[in-house]
Structure 1
Amino acid sequence: MQTTIFNTPIVTPVLRLVARLLLKLHGWKVVADERALKLKKYVLLAAPHTSNWDGYFFILAALKLKVNPQWMGKDKLFQFPLGGAMRWFGGIAVDRSKANNLVEATINQYKSREELVIAVPPEGTRGKSERWKTGFYHIARGAAVPVVCGFIDFARKEAGLGPVMEMGENLARELARFGEYYATKVGKYPGDYTPPV
């Protein structure tokens, strides 16, 4: 298992205390669906994603909840001098210049591990775009793992893990379910949020 900010001996317990303090100072609350906390493998959505502040509160929430999320990033992010830090923050380098199938590679990662949580911002960018990217859906279906609705809500000052959703065969129906759930979550810049459909 990759050593990250979320599972480093000695350091992580201290960071959890710091995260609790920072959340309290910011006036933020962390909430979680109890079922999500018991899962070992799932795809973790990270939405709405409209600001770099999302990552900050997401990390604080993950530390408090004792979750160990990882994320995929362009391999250029993992070059010297920041490569080690990016991996420690849960990053997995992806070479996008090659014609590799990221969905299939991620499914294989799930199949080869006993525990794995990959965080995916389905909007794909902090700015407004046309629609959600659906790779997370195909990964969940192919790996036979559920999707957990991770969220940031600046209006309520809440972050955490929402409902656990098993993915059915109808993509449009699943996106509509996500749309209904995330319609109540407000990003830092609401105008930049891209709904699923």
Structure 2
Amino acid sequence: MAFIYGFEMMWMGKDSLFTGWRGPIMRWMGGIPITRSSSNNVVEQTIEKFNTSDRLVIAIPPEGTRSKVTAWKTGFYYIALGAKIPIALAFIDYTKKTGGFLSTFHPTGDAEKDIAHIRACYSGIDGKYPDQCIVH
């Protein structure tokens, strides 16, 4: 879809996905390796990428795909706030075998309130590993 509409589609993934023979393929597919163990200004770098691109979409994978989480990381929120762009709330509901977009959301700067609102939007949607997720 992004190609059809002329968007540059990128996605963020754990840096270990980009090692060996997979690295060039992942980058060709729009992957951006993220080193999550260090503070390397990912938010600022991503905001700058938005500021220098005319038509950019970045997909940020959800929390809880490999282990249980107790809180969401907030980088996605601060990227959208800093780049002055909306957050498209997408979902895949594994129980109902459906997926799509719920809505778009414009961050207000009140992170606590905004993230509580976003979490509420996902109520009743089951990810692949619902026992590892904090939203229900």
Q: Which residue of 2 aligns with 1:157?
A: 97
Partner SS for 1:161: strand
Structure-2-length-normalised TM-score: 0.83
Structure 2: which amino acid aligns with 1:109?
Answer: K
Moved more, 157-166 or 124-133: 124-133
C-alpha deviation, 1:98, in angstroms: 6.5
Aligned to 1:191, which of 124, 131, 136?
Answer: 131
Q: Report if aligned partners of 1:122, 1:134 keep a CA contact under 8 Å in 2.
A: no
1:103 aligns with 2:38: no
Structure 1: which amino acid aligns with 2:112?
Answer: A
The higher-RCO structure (CA 8 Å, 6+ apart) is 1
Distance 2:94 2:115 in 1: 22
Query: Any runs of at least 4 consecutive aligned residues in structure 1 with deviations exceeding 3 A, and if so which?
Result: 94-99
May I ask how many residue pairs the two structures share in their alignment? 136
Q: Report if aligned partners of 2:65, 2:129 keep a CA contact under 8 Å in 1.
A: no
Q: Report if aligned partners of 1:122, 1:133 keep a CA contact under 8 Å in 2.
A: no
Structure 1: which amino acid aligns with 2:83?
Answer: A
Q: Which residue of 2 aligns with 1:121?
A: 61
Distance 1:159 1:187 in 2: 10
Give the direction of change, closer, same or farther, for the CA distance of 1:158–1:113 in structure 2 (3 Å limit): same
Distance 2:85 2:57 in 1: 10
Flag the structure with larger Rg. Answer: 1
Matches within 5 A, 1:1-197: 7=3, 69-94=9-34, 99-123=39-63, 125-195=65-135
C-alpha deviation, 1:6, in angstroms: 6.1
Give the direction of change, closer, same or farther, for the CA distance of 1:124–1:142 in structure 2 (3 Å limit): farther
Give the direction of change, closer, same or farther, for the CA distance of 1:76–1:180 in structure 2 (3 Å limit): closer
C-alpha deviation, 1:96, in angstroms: 5.7
Structure-1-length-normalised TM-score: 0.59
- Cα RMSD for the two superposed structures: 2.8
Relative to its length, the structure with more helix (as a share) is: 1
Structure 2: which amino acid aligns with 1:150?
Answer: A
Distance 2:103 2:35 in 1: 32
Moved more, 109-118 or 85-94: 85-94
| Unaligned runs of at least 5 residues, structure 2 | none
Q: Report if aligned partners of 2:94, 2:126 keep a CA contact under 8 Å in 1.
A: yes
Distance 2:35 2:95 in 1: 37
